[in-house]
Structure 1
Amino acid sequence: MLLELKRIYVPPGQRVLLQDVTWQELETIIEELGEHRAARIAYDQGILEIMAPLPEHEDNKEIISDLVKALLEELDIEFRCLGSTTFKNEFMAQGIEPDQCFYIKNEAAIRGKKRIDLTVDPPPDLALEIDITSRTHPDIYQALKVPELWRFEKGTLKINVLQDGNYVESKSSLSFPDLPLIELIPQYLEQSKILGRNATLKAFRSWIREYLSK
């Protein structure tokens, strides 16, 4: 399997599917791929997907992540951002690497931990999937009980929240219930492409402060 893996080249924006991958093979593959890589993985009942994001995907991911961080800071909410950490549960035979994720409500429960084990630790409160092409795995996030999944595609933000074990699309966020983020996030993302990152974040922070002062 490792020999085959080393021969695999995944062009940006493309994916490779491997079938009948055991849990032990998955663990070995993740270790072989290493932590500092562009490719993302998703594992569901023996099927492993490896995908390489496009450069513009990374740009959008970084700006949206920065907007969420700015929002949490302005609201004075403790959080932990774990990027594309591999979240997996052997009992469920499922694993996923989000484009970005945040511990917010459950930040204190995993504070200082170097490794997250979903058999004992809570899942992240918020996961982000950016510029989805063929790679979309809400079922895995749902099985891992991630309370909130944001899916940004073609300029549109869709918020999915967990209700009775299933995702339902929502107009508001569980983590930020009073903010019109479906409109705000795409708006400031587009603004960043004209004004630049720093100017956009400064404007976004100003908007939040004005909103909170009402």
Structure 2
Amino acid sequence: LYFADNTLELWMPSEAHEELNRMVALLIALIYGEWDVEARDLGSMTHSDPATDRGFEPDTCFYEDVETGGETVSRPRLAVEMERTNSALAKLPIYAAYGMPEVWRVSLSDTGELQARFYRLEEGDYREVSESIAVPPMTPDLLCDFLRARLTATRLGAWIASVQNWARARPHVSA
């Protein structure tokens, strides 16, 4: 779902869409767990801004609580969009207006081809980047490798262990 310029777009997620979406969310949560990153998985929480008359629901989003001026403020960390038939590119200006620092676009074609692209917000616009700041040193290719392993053969327990082992082998650097 997203709303901008008096246009409301709704999509009905398929089984393949949701399976991929939950895999990505689990992968991020497992890595954050290993790194002791306090981020909250808020799923497809509705974000709206009455001042700009815009809103969106990412497929998955992560937030972090930050201490600012003696109070705890929740701020966006990462949004993930799954693509099967519709491109998430149209949503990027809405994410930018909201201040989402990073957006991942993940697609799975009908033939089973996986593709991922990462975007970082810089000076009000998104720029495609080769490495995540929300989950460093994750790259689009590495994300696809993890997802492909789970989609093709790896049993869930073995896949979880491989993600955790990968995270343990890399020291977390706060973004």
TM-score (normalised: structure 2): 0.84
The 1:204/1:131 distance shift into structure 2, 3 A limit, reads same
User: Which position in structure 2 is the counterpart of 1:37?
Assistant: none
Counterpart residue identity of residue 186, structure 1: C
Distance 1:53 1:97 in 2: 12
> In structure 2, the residue corresponding to 1:160 is in which secondary structure?
strand
Distance 2:9 2:75 in 1: 21
- Count, aligned residues: 159
Matched, 1:86 2:46: yes
User: Which position in structure 2 is the counterpart of 1:175?
Assistant: 134
Runs of 4+ with deviation above 6 angstroms = none
User: Which position in structure 2 is the counterpart of 1:166?
Assistant: 125
Alpha carbons 2:117, 2:128 under 8 Å: kept: yes
Larger radius of gyration: 1
The 1:45/1:92 distance shift into structure 2, 3 A limit, reads same
Higher RCO, 1 vs 2 (CA within 8 Å, ≥6 residues apart): 2
Q: Output one character per residue of 1:162-202: Cα deviation in whole Å (capped at 9) or x when no partner.
A: 0000000001112233x143222111111112112221111
Alpha carbons 2:63, 2:74 under 8 Å: kept: no
Could you tell me how far 1:98 is from its partner in structure 2?
Answer: 0.4
Distance 2:124 2:54 in 1: 16
User: Which position in structure 2 is the counterpart of 1:51?
Assistant: 11
Matched, 1:61 2:21: yes
> In structure 2, the residue corresponding to 1:149 is in which secondary structure?
strand
Distance 2:118 2:33 in 1: 21
Distance 1:167 1:192 in 2: 29
Structure 1: unaligned runs, 5 residues or longer: 1-40, 110-120
Distance 2:100 2:118 in 1: 12
Distance 2:101 2:82 in 1: 17
Structure that is richer in strand per residue: 2
